[in-house]
Each structure stands twice: as C-alpha cells, then as structure tokens.
Chain A
Amino acid sequence: MRHVLSILVENEPGVLSRVAGLFSGRGFNIESLNVGPTLDPTVSHMTIVTIGDDQIIEQIIKQLHKIISVIKVVDLSEEQAVEREIVLVKVGAEDSKRAEVLRIVDIFRCKVVDVSVDELTVEITGDKNKIKAIVTLLQRFGIKEFARSGPIAMRRSMQLAD
C-alpha cells in the first residue's frame, strides 16, 4: 500500500542523508521525497511517499523514530489527508496546437507560466490523479521538459468516519 509520511526533523546538516540512508540501507522504497523549511527555523519538514505492506510500513515508521534527528512521524493514509504536488511541463505549442493546449490548461485550471513562439510552460497543482490526467492529455503535443516536486501533504481537519 502507498503511504504518505509526514516527518519533522531537526534542521541540521546530514539529516536528509540519515533519512535517505535508512531507506536505502534497509531496502525500503522511496517513491518521492520532499524537504522544506517550517515556520520554526530549527525544524524541517519532509514528506516521503513509500510503498509497503503493513509490517514494512510499521518498521519504516519505527526506524524513522529511531533516528536521533527525527522529531515526529505521521502516517497520512490517503483518505485522511490533503495531498498536493506541483509540476512544470514544457509542451510543444506551435500555432496549430496552441489553442488546444490552452483549452486543456483552462479546463484543469492550470497556469501558463512561460511562453515562447512554439512552447508553453504549464504549472499544474493538484493530487496525483489530476496530474496524471492532464499529463496524459498533454503528451500528444510533445512534452519537452518535465519537473515534478513530489507531494506534500497534511491531515484533513475534519476526519470522516470509515
């Protein structure tokens, strides 16, 4: 099962390599990893997407806690979390295609952030399904460059009962 782990760590040198090293050293998967600052300058926030059965996820969480620099680990299962990811895509948009590309951008409420005569750079924000849908649609225009942040996530304020 896919799990999104939200991790608070001490903001100190080497902490990323401690976390990444845990995954590589113990053969756990990292689907994506995202690190950024928090409002507290001494704390960084990591979001890791990983895949494993319940026993593996339990080990991953325990092992993360065991790293001295890790302050907190939260397992955000998909139903309980809002997840967002940002993608930049540079697509071919010669005159004949441009209108169609812009229409897709519009339907998905994306943004064009850079333009040239034959290319458009589109910013997509959303969860993984939305990103998958729009990228599939844009592919036929020719994707020239692609950059993806990996998701960040947060627990929903209102939890729905199962």
Chain B
Amino acid sequence: MVRTGAQILLECLQREGVDLIFGFPGGAVIDIYDELPNHPIRHILVRHEQGAVHAADGYARASGKVGVCLVTSGPGATNTVTGIATAYMDSVPLVIFTGQVPTQLIGNDAFQEADIVGITRPCTKHNYLVKDVRQLAFTVKQAFYLARTGRPGPVLVDLPKDVIRATAEFHYPESMSMRSYNPRYSPNRKQLRRAAELIAASSRPVVYAGGGVIAADGAGELTRLARDYRLPVTTTLMGLGAFPGTDPLWLGMLGMHGTYTANMAINNADLLISIGARFDDRVTGRVDAFAPQAKIIHFDIDPTSISKNVGVDVPIVADCRQGLVGLMEELARVSGVDWQGKHAAWLAELAAMQREHPLTYASSGEHIKPQWVVEKIYEITQGEAIITTEVGQNQMWAAQFYRYTRPRTFLSSGGLGTMGYGFPAAIGAQLAFPDRLVVDIAGDGSIQMNIQELATAVSYQIPVKVVILNNGYLGMVRQWQELFYNKNYCATCLHTNPDFVALAKAYGAEGFRVERIEDVEPVLRKAFAHPGPVFVDVRVEPEENVAPMVPAGAALSEMLLV
C-alpha cells in the first residue's frame, strides 16, 4: 500500500512499540504532526526541545525502552544537542527525529536549515539523513536496532520535508542485520575461567560496577554474585541501584565524592572486578594511583572502554548480564574454596572503616542541612521513589544520602553533568511509571535551566515532585572556589533567584517553601501526597560542602574528609 513519508514514519513507530513521543512542532515537521492524530501514539508537547530529549532520556532510563523525540529543523534540531550528548555519554537508547529543509535546498543556507547530522556526528551512536522516502522504513528500523542493541545510545534521523511528503510502498523489515555492526554479547569462556581463578586466588577483592550493569538488566545477577561469593561492592554514580544500598556488602559510591571505605577499598584491593564501568576520571582520580595493588578483570560490551584509561589483566567483552551469569558458572566449578570464610578478614576490615568514616555531616546550627533533607526524602519514600537529580552538590547528596535498592531508580546525568537534566527526566520517568513517586532532587541554579517544563508538567498533570535544595549558590562551583580558589566567589552567587513558589503557582503547579527544620518532614509529606506537580523550595545551609572529596587530579587515597 502506498503511504506518505509521514504515514510510514508513524507506522514504523507503532511497529517498534512506541506509544509515547516527546516533541515540539515547526514548519519542517508539520506534515508529521498533521498525520499524528491518526495513530495511537501519545505526543507530549514540551516547552523546549532540550526538555524533549531529557524527558525521552528519563523515560528510557526508567523503563529500559527506547525514548523517542520529534522536533523541527534548524533551531529545533540544534536545541536537542545537549540532550543528545547527555544521552550519549550515559549510553541511553534514544531515537531523535529532526525535520530538515527540502532536499533540493540542503546546503543553500535555507530558512531554518542546520546541518544537524554533521553537528551530532560526535555525540550520537549513529545518524542518518534520509534522502529517499523508499529508504525511510529501513532507516527507522535500523535506527531503533542500533539505539537498543550493543552499547545503547542515541541515534538521530534527519527527515527532509519533501521526503516526509513523498509517497512510497510501505514494507517494514522483519529483522535487521548489518555487516558492519555485530556487538558481542556472550563472554569468552577461557577469559571467564581466568577471572574465576583470579577471584579464587584473591584475598582483597572489590566489585566496581557501573551503569552497564543496569543497561544490561544485570542487577539481580550482580547481587547474586556478590552475596554468593562474599564480594564487597562499590558502584559509580551511574551504577547506583545496580546493587542494594542497604546490603552489608555495599561500600557506597566510589570516586571524587565517594565514601572513604569505597575509595580505600580500591586503594587496598588485590583484585578489581569491574563490570560495566569505564574508569572515568571522576572515578579514578589520578589514574596511575588507581587500584595500585590490584589485578583487574573488566567486563564491558564496548571494547573501546577496555584498557582505555587503565590497563586490564582479564578483558571480557560481553553483555554485563551474560558476563555475570558466565562468571558465576565458572565460579561454581571452582572447588575447595570456603567462600563464606574466604574474605572474612577483608570484609571485617572494610566494615571497621565504614564505622570509623561513615558518610556524615555536622548537624549543628539553625540552618536546614541539605543532606538531612535527602535522608528525609529517603525515609518518607522508604526508598521506593524514582529519584532524578540536577547537577552539582544536589546531585552528590542525592547519590550519597538516599539508598537505592533497585535499578532504574536513580536517574542522573553522569558523563556530561548536564544542569537542567533532572526536571524533564523526572517528567519522562513519571510518564513511564504513572503510579510511582518521582522526585527531582534539584539545585536552585540547575532547576532554572529547564524550568519552562513546568508548563508541560501542569498541562498533562504529570505529578513530579521537585525538591530544590536552595543554597543561593551554584554550590558545587562555589565549593571549588572555597577550597581551591581562595573563596573568590566570582559568578556563583544567585542572589536574584526567583520566588520558586510563586513561579510554580504562576504555571498552575503547587509550591511550598520550607525555612525551618521542623517544617521539612511535614511539608515533604504534604508535597508527596499532592496529586499534581509540586515545587518544594527548601532553604538550606548556604555554604555546605560535599564531603569527602578527592581533589581533581589527586589519588583516591588523598581524599579530603572535611
């Protein structure tokens, strides 16, 4: 049957199981919008294209499905770039459809023309300019295939207006295979055996897990591995939720704002079992001093992540879940090891460290402590909420003081560190799970970077809760200025913040302000019980710092405990 490009596109989305897209219209995509009401696809009209991409990203991280966006050419397309780069750094599966000027005008500096394929080449897994409507269905199929397989990532499809309007016979390919793309999922047996031998021979092993475990749906397997073989676990920011934060084997997050115990465990380990993590500089600190005594086993689906920053003894290219399953099979074959007793001394040493240097903060003073607010959010939600974060101190406190027990419950821009991520991501996560409580733990600076999405939350009554840890500063930058730049607080004071409560109300949302310690809990409870979107403006200690801290470029063992 002959269809228009617009019909083909929407038909393809249905075949891919897409029932929700985030978008913003314009001249180049008006034909797609014209066709949209004829398809059972819900469209969420955002208020800025960056919001569309972060919302699709939050939806994807929370659900594990591919997030989808539709925007117009030129400025619509360029507005998506930060969102795409955010998703790329954190390996989030997205497909972004951008309108483009008609093919005969491409390259003419036409109205609202931008070379978005060129612009996004380095921050997409792959991208396409569709020049012929007969290629459209195949391209869409391939875009989804690439986004969700291997190491997931964003894929952009640029659609010239004449292609959208042209007609063709519609065939949707049943399956997809590519000669140039064959991700390796199953681990090499020999390498698994070597890994098992190293684990059996180690006396101070540490599991260092990252977002790859969550992306591979391997959190259950990770938990089983650690518990069965008594292995202590630390995760990256991206890995929070891959292992229960309430388990005695949990050491906390590692890295720049990691726990003392996690960082010292890395420092003293004789074996590092890295699973779906990429030795990011915020994790390793000074790289030549990272895990100086340890042999390293590294599971990753992306070969480029292995031995990129740190040399590895046993590289295992595989899907993390399959890698974990295989490793446990090999460990089960190892005989004569008393796993329960084997690492007892090491675990006792780590437990003593945890008692000695827990995550902490001074609770004195009349100001509300931001860490305490996060602890209260944890208590009230009993760890059942989906938490998103902005970037800065709010993000680190959300990582440190809330205990994540399940994967896909902590959504944060780890790799790119994008202020303005958390609020639209919360909207996306809430749409994936309408019945769950979704809370954006925000900063007063970051929230203003996509605050226009209040209109989106209100118009669809998406009941996200935004808790602003309002310190009146671009706090994380101020902290660096305090510690490393002689308190030269240049351009970090936000003394002209808006009245967030009045602002929320102006948009038609609910808003509360909290200035006294005793009001924190009741107001949070009231906010979380409210059926619609809410902003809670919590005035916290203005000059509180995130601790511990490994100064940039220092070794993990050179942490400041402040």
Contacts and interface: CB of A to CB of B under 8 A. Distances in A.
A18 interface: yes
Contacts of A65: 303
Q: Which of B181, B304, B307 has the most chain A CB atoms inside 10 A of its CB?
A: B304
Given A14-B117, A58-B307, A66-B302, A21 B180 contact: no
A69 B122 contact: no
Interface of A: 9-10, 13-14, 17-18, 21, 25, 55, 58-59, 62-63, 65-66, 68-71
Contacts of A58: 307
A66 B122 CA distance: 12
A25 B308 CA distance: 15
Given A68-B180, A70-B180, A55 B307 contact: yes
Interface in B74-131: 117-118, 121-122, 125-126, 129
Nearest to B131: A13
Nearest to A69: B180
A66 B125 CA distance: 9
Nearest to B118: A17
Interface of B: 117-118, 121-122, 125-126, 129, 146, 178-181, 302-304, 307-308, 311
A60 to B, nearest CB: 10
B260 to A, nearest CB: 32
B304 A62 contact: yes
A20 to B, nearest CB: 10
Nearest to B302: A66
Contacts of B179: 71
B180 A62 contact: no
Given A59-B308, A69-B180, A70-B180, A14 B121 contact: yes
A63 B304 contact: yes
A48 B304 CA distance: 19
Q: Nearest 10 CB-CB pairs, A to B?
A: A68-B126, A62-B304, A71-B180, A62-B303, A25-B122, A63-B304, A68-B181, A66-B304, A21-B121, A21-B122
Contacts of B180: 9-10, 68-71
A91 to B, nearest CB: 40
Nearest to B123: A25
A10 B128 CA distance: 13
A68 B146 contact: yes
A161 B311 CA distance: 29
A59 B129 contact: no
30 contacts: A10-B180, A13-B129, A14-B117, A14-B118, A14-B121, A14-B129, A17-B118, A17-B121, A18-B121, A21-B121, A21-B122, A58-B307, A59-B304, A59-B308, A62-B303, A62-B304, A63-B304, A66-B302, A66-B304, A68-B125, A68-B126, A68-B146, A68-B178, A68-B180, A68-B181, A69-B126, A69-B180, A70-B180, A71-B179, A71-B180
A58 B304 CA distance: 9
B435 to A, nearest CB: 38
Nearest to B142: A68
A70 B129 CA distance: 18
Contacts of B121: 14, 17-18, 21
Nearest to A60: B304
B373 to A, nearest CB: 40
Nearest to A24: B122
A63 B121 CA distance: 14
Nearest to A62: B304
Q: Which of B302, B308, B311 has the most chain A CB atoms inside 10 A of its CB?
A: B308
A55 B307 CA distance: 8
Nearest to B151: A66
Nearest to A9: B180
Contacts of B178: 68
Given A65-B303, A71-B179, A71-B180, 17 more contacts: A13-B129, A14-B129, A21-B121, A21-B122, A55-B307, A59-B308, A62-B303, A62-B304, A63-B304, A66-B302, A66-B304, A68-B126, A68-B146, A68-B181, A69-B126, A69-B180, A70-B180
A13 B158 CA distance: 13
Contacts of B181: 68
Contacts of A70: 180
Nearest to B126: A68
Nearest to B181: A68
Contacts of B307: 55, 58
Contacts of B304: 59, 62-63, 66
Nearest to A14: B117
Nearest to A65: B303
A65 B146 CA distance: 14
Contacts of B302: 66
Contacts of A17: 118, 121
Contacts of A14: 117-118, 121, 129
A10 B304 CA distance: 21
Nearest to B304: A62
B18 to A, nearest CB: 21
Nearest to A8: B180
A70 B180 CA distance: 6
Contacts of A13: 129
Contacts of B303: 62, 65-66
A71 B181 CA distance: 8
A58 B306 CA distance: 10
Contacts of A63: 304
A25 B122 CA distance: 8
Contacts of B129: 13-14
B309 to A, nearest CB: 10
Nearest to A64: B304
B459 to A, nearest CB: 37
Contacts of A10: 180
